[in-house]
Amino acid sequence: MDNCLIHFPVFMYRLRLVILVCLGCHLAPIYSQDSLSFSLKVIEESPPFSVDINTTSSSWDFQMPFDYLSQSPSKETKKVCRKYHYLLHEEPDSLNYQRYSQLIYALWAENRLEEAEKLCLKIIHSSDPYYIGIHYYSAGIVGDTTIRAYGSFTADHRNDAAIILTKICLKQKKFKEAYQYLEDAIKKYPVSYTCGTYFWMQKNEYDFLYASCYEGLSQYKQVLDLLLPECLKRHDEISVRVIKKLFTPQAIADSLQHAEESMQFFLDTLPSYSYSTYYSTTDNAERTDTIVFYSGVATMTLFGTSIQLYASDLKNGEHATREYFIRKFRKSSFYDELDSE
């Protein structure tokens, strides 16, 4: 069971610069200084995550944002569009791939969808060896299939292009085309990660895109089958919309009540530990507090789906209880948005 106090994974634009500070992963540098400064600038200028503060605990009850169609235009993306506009008339190759990728993501951010689509299709149909091969990092050598250490990953520019094409089609409400591009990205141009943080980021994005396709195609059962098991861990507006389409307000209220009544709680028999590091201004030194608590897991049935809840924000000396998980359930954005019906 994961007993970390806070997780702050950073995911921005699917650029091949991967920042995995929270798990201490190290990847060999694969981008130029220009590319690095661009991606960091985008992260700095992006809006902050929304978090819910658990007022009964000294830590954060963090819910991962769940929207991969948001666009963040900025001075930097406008600059990239101007600087690399000439690439719209060039074919992608191994010499311009970094600028090509930067321009695609900048065009997407600026909602210049037709131009972004044009570049993505060029990558998909490129016969350049650089674009039809799988890249293995930290080696960075096309075709090198040597098993790498934890934190390594594979990259395929066609995967990136197909994902952007999926998002463009979703924006344009072309749901069948979006679904096909997503299938191509995952099955024809697969990429993989050995680091757990980025693996789960990738899974969250794929889940969101599949669910968006299903919702657009009115395949609501597939939406709930896919998203409900994780609906309390993230700010999931898709599931909420679908549930409101399928159920009356009274049926929703009854289902939320039934979920609480069905909850079963299991307390861990051994203690868990987490660590809080801070800088003390009193003696100008770094201090680390050890927090000892008894965690646990709760299960319940929510709209016909089995859901698991884990304790993530217990205080020193605290024991998880069934009432703790009831409060956690009621404080989720999922519950809050449905309970308002």
Examine residue 57 and state whether it is found in any structural domain, yes or no. yes
**Co-location of 199 and 321 in the same domain:** no
Given a contact cutoff of 8 angstroms between Cβ atoms, the answer to whether 10 and 19 are in contact is yes
The overall longest dimension of the chain from CA atoms, in Å, is 64
- Residue where a domain terminates, one of 184, 217, 250: 217
**Co-location of 35 and 71 in the same domain:** yes
CA 99 to CA 79: how far, in whole Å?
A: 12
Both tokens assigned to 242:
């679908």
**Co-location of 153 and 278 in the same domain:** no
**Co-location of 260 and 309 in the same domain:** yes
- DSSP strand pairing (64-65 vs 234-235): parallel
Spacing of C-alpha 97 from chain mean position: 24
Tally the residues of the chain: 341
| Residue indicated by tokens 């065009």 | 107
Examine residue 284 and state whether it is found in any structural domain, yes or no. yes
Both tokens assigned to 113:
């969808």
DSSP H helices, 138-195, are: 157-171, 175-183
Mean of the per-residue pLDDT values for the chain?
81
Considering its fold, how many domains does the chain have in total? Answer: 2
CA 20 to CA 151: how far, in whole Å?
A: 8
Residue 39 pLDDT greater than 70, yes or no: no
Examine residue 225 and state whether it is found in any structural domain, yes or no. no
Both tokens assigned to 316:
């020193």
Residue 165 pLDDT greater than 60, yes or no: yes
**Co-location of 198 and 244 in the same domain:** no
Answer whether 0.85 is exceeded by the pTM.
no
Given a contact cutoff of 8 angstroms between Cβ atoms, the answer to whether 80 and 86 are in contact is no
Confidence class for position 184, pLDDT limits 50, 70, 90 = very high
